[in-house]
């Protein structure tokens, strides 16, 4: 029996990367998965991969920062599978890399909405379903950027710090209802997104991309980046009964990099 046998999980940002890895692993652990993302083709591909592997999944095209679309997402999950037990707030965009004096209002609003408003909205509409079910588990995928400063990423740092604060507040509020809320804070995760971040940092600092990548890896005591599967393992723990007495926690998955 899998760690999530009989559970129904909504996973946002499920089109690729961590979100796709979460969807595939959660299905292998017995969950029916509601895969949500803005990219129709990619999120449908994620759901297809789940079903081809023998799992249950539906794809919902959804911008998690838009209220009506999130309401529709949760309704689609309940219609398909009857309930919601697990929510992983994984949607979010890194936003631009630029000095704060050049960080425009549209940059700020987009990054905050993408990472933080989306987590608030999904939680807002999922909680009533979890109350009906007698409990549930919510995990916010934040970042080490929310626990220490990163230059030229003011919007992203602010949004990810907001997810940490949201985790603490929701954990206390929802605990009497059997709803656990935790947070995973990844460090640098191998993949396309960190490649774009490294390129942006290198450009703004005026150094070669290879030098920037080396500096980022050297900052980690384990001298490596983490993988999407590392993040999935931590998230699965929080969503499973192994963490039945754990709430309001932030787990750094960052190859040992100090928080401050």
Out of 31-40, 115-124, 168-177, 210-219, least confident range: 210-219
Name the 3-class secondary structure at 88. strand
pLDDT exceeds cutoff 80 at 204: no
pLDDT single digits (tens) 95-129: 888 899 999 999 999 999 999 999 999 999 999 99
Task: Look over the chain and give the mean of its residue pLDDT values, rounded to a whole number.
Answer: 93
Out of 69-83, 144-158, 225-239, least confident range: 144-158
CATH code 3.40.50.720 region(s) in the chain: 8-187+227-252
Strands 8-12 and 32-37: parallel
Its pTM surpasses 0.95: no
Residue with tokens 């960080």: 103
156 among known catalytic residues: yes
Q: 138 φ, ψ to 5°?
A: -120, 135
Name the 3-class secondary structure at 35. strand
List C-alpha distances in Å: 215 to 5, 208, 209, 253: 42, 11, 10, 19
Q: How many helices (H) and strands (E) does the chain have?
A: 9, 7
Structure tokens at 65: 């920062």
Confidence of residue 27 (pLDDT cuts 50, 70, 90): very high
Quick one: fold of 8-187+227-252? Rossmann fold (3.40.50)
Report the b/e string of 33-70 with b at 16+ CB within 10 A: bbbbbbeeebbbbbbebbeeeebbbbbbbbbbbbeebb
pLDDT single digits (tens) 209-238: 788 787 777 788 888 778 999 999 999 999
Q: What integer pLDDT is reported at residue 61 of this predicted model?
A: 98
């Amino acid at each position: 029996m899998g760690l999530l046998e009989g559970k129904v999980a909504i996973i946002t940002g499920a089109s690729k990367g961590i979100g796709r890895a979460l969807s595939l692993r959660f299905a292998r652990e017995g969950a029916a998965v509601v895969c949500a993302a803005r990219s129709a083709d990619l999120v449908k591909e994620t759901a297809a991969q789940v079903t081809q592997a023998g799992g249950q999944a539906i794809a919902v095209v959804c911008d998690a920062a838009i209220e009506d679309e999130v309401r529709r997402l949760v309704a689609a999950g309940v219609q398909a599978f009857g309930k919601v037990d697990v929510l992983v707030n994984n949607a979010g965009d890194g936003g631009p890399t630029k000095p704060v004096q050049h960080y425009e209002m549209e940059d700020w609003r987009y990054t905050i909405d993408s990472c933080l408003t989306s987590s608030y909205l999904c939680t807002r509409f999922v909680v009533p379903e979890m109350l009906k079910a007698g409990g549930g588990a919510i995990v916010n995928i934040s970042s080490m950027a929310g626990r220490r400063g990163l230059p030229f990423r003011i919007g992203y740092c602010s949004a990810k710090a907001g997810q940490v604060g949201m985790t603490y507040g929701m954990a206390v509020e929802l605990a009497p209802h059997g709803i656990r809320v935790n947070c995973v804070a990844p460090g640098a995760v191998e993949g396309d997104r960190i490649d774009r971040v490294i390129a942006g940092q290198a450009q703004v600092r005026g150094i070669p991309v290879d030098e920037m990548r080396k500096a980022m890896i050297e900052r980690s005591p384990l001298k490596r980046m983490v993988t999407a599967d590392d993040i999935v393992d931590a998230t699965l723990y929080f969503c499973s009964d192994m963490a039945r007495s754990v709430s309001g926690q932030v787990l750094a998955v960052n190859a040992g990099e100090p928080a401050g």
